[in-house]
Amino acid sequence: MIEVKNLCHAFRVGRKGTRQKIHVLKDISFSVKKGELVAIAGRSGSGKSTLLNIISGFLKPNRGEVKIAGTFVTNLNETRFAEFRLHHIGFIFQNFQLILSMTVFQNVELPLILKGMPEAERSMKVDEALERVGLLTYKSHYPSELSGGQQQRVSIARALVVNPPLILADEPTGSLDSDTEDDLLMFMKELNNELGITFLVITHDKKVAQMGSRILEMADGKMMEGVLP
Domain borders along the chain are: 39-46+77-225
Residue 15's pLDDT is: 75
136, amino acid identity: L
CA–CA distance, 195 with 204 (Å, rounded to integer): 26
The pLDDT score that the predictor gives to residue 180 is 85
For residue 74, the number of C-alpha atoms closer than 13 Å in the C-beta half-sphere is: 21
Residues 207-229: pLDDT tens digits?
888 888 899 999 989 988 755 44
What pLDDT does residue 229 have? 45
Distance CA 6, CA 206 (A): 27
What local confidence, expressed as pLDDT, does residue 17 receive? 67
Q: Which residues of the chain have pLDDT under 50?
A: 228-229
Locate the DSSP E strands across 69-205. Answer: 71-72, 89-93, 166-170, 198-203
In the prediction, which pLDDT does 226 show?
Answer: 58
- The domain defined by 39-46+77-225 folds into Rossmann fold (3.40.50)
Please tell me the predicted confidence (pLDDT) of residue 79: 93
Report the alpha-carbon distance of residue 113 to residue 111 in Å, rounded: 5
**Which of 143, 179, 177 is CA-nearest to residue 158?**
143
Please list the residues that pair with 66 across neighbouring strands: 4
